[in-house]
Amino acid sequence: MRRREIRLADGRELVYFDEREGAGAGGGGDGGGERGEVDRRGLPPLPAASELRYDALVDEWVAVAAHRQTRIFLPSAEECPLCPSTPTHSTEIPAYDYDVAVFENRFPSFSSREGEPAGELTPFTPTRPGVGRCEVVCFTADHNTSFASLSPRRVRTVLEALADRTTALSALPGVEQVFPFENRGEEIGVTLQHPHGQIYAYPFLPPRTRALLAAAGRHAERTGGRNLYADVLAAERTAGDRVVAANEHWTAYVPAAARWPFEVHLAPHRAVPDIPALDEAERDAFGPLYLDLLGRFDRLFDMPMPYISAWHQAPVREGRERSHLHLRLFSIRRAADKLKYLAGSESAMGVFVNDIRPEQAAERLRQAAG
């Protein structure tokens, strides 16, 4: 794999991850670098950083990023900003072809640019700039496909890109956790149909991470330092009734207390903190099992399944020894014609009520094997 960096017209970074020689070529007379590699657009100045506001009632930070209201919404395939550029149409990706490309989001929730200085709205509501970074990960140049249709080799390339970006973003000042994820489907809220994911580099620990670390810390104190997620994974593998699929290095299982109608954790058997810590065998083994899992999701109702695929990695600085890398895949679809909406209990109180027993969900996913 070859890694190449360029700068877009407004100064944002873009990194190509090439599987083949000549990727990115295609002509165009752009006058510099590899052909088809220069961003020809005239772009407006980038927005300032978002604002973080502290909610003292629940001890959480909220990002206010009003500039995101103007981001592109469900464009036609001809206007897709994630497709390769052509001689007559420039997109976010100057190359006329590519394998995997990662670039800074033009409408980020967090960025390293200057914003409003730290202050306070009330004595209970301090504010500070939303320092961090948001990136877009384009899995393929093909607009009319999905992650589930990628080859195992391409999944491995995506994984290498996520490892690269996790390492780079973890080194940025103020970043506390790196979170790669994919949203799929308009039901989830996707605004661009091109197969892509995102990476958020948070300037604080998100609520779920804080809860995971707190529970892991309590378990370690009770058990002389044992890793909670590793113990839960071992228990699920032993029980077996919620295991969907597995190979030598990874297991996919429905959590016993799943919140979503169809929710699966895909975890390496070895306790590692993040994607860069995976060894070669683990990286090779991930793709085939993950593609199998995505295929099962799509076969459940014989239609593309809307989902969120979220990598839970260790924070940059604290709690790394208590963390265990895992991918959390879940869907809001509970039947062919029904979605799981977050209504009163879930949205107002954070108490989930699942419509499908996890054991039933696991059995249906096992039966959906290709």
Active site residues: 196
Torsions phi, psi for 276 (to 5 deg): -60, -25
And the tokens for 107?
A: 């409408």
With a CB cutoff of 8 Å and minimum separation 6, the contacts of 366 are 244, 245
And the tokens for 139?
A: 């899995």
**In angstroms, what CA-CA distances link 35 with 4, 24, 141, 265?**
14, 7, 17, 42
With a CB cutoff of 8 Å and minimum separation 6, the contacts of 364 are 262, 300
Residue type, 184: R
For the chain, the distance separating the N- and C-terminal CA atoms, rounded to the nearest angstrom, is 30
Q: Whose structure tokens read 């009003």?
A: 66
Q: CB neighbours (10 Å) of residue 255?
A: 18
Closest CA to 46 of 126, 134, 128: 134
And the tokens for 32?
A: 């510099």
Closest CA to 138 of 92, 188, 78: 92
Rounded-to-integer distance, Cα 132 and Cα 143, Å: 29
And the tokens for 143?
A: 């607009």
Rounded-to-integer distance, Cα 203 and Cα 176, Å: 5
Q: Up-side HSE of residue 181: CA atoms within 13 Å toward CB?
A: 19
With a CB cutoff of 8 Å and minimum separation 6, the contacts of 207 are 60
User: Which 3 state secondary structure label does DSSP give 25?
Assistant: coil
Rounded-to-integer distance, Cα 153 and Cα 100, Å: 12
- H or E stretch covering 290: helix 280-300
Q: How far is CA 61 from the centre of its chain?
A: 20
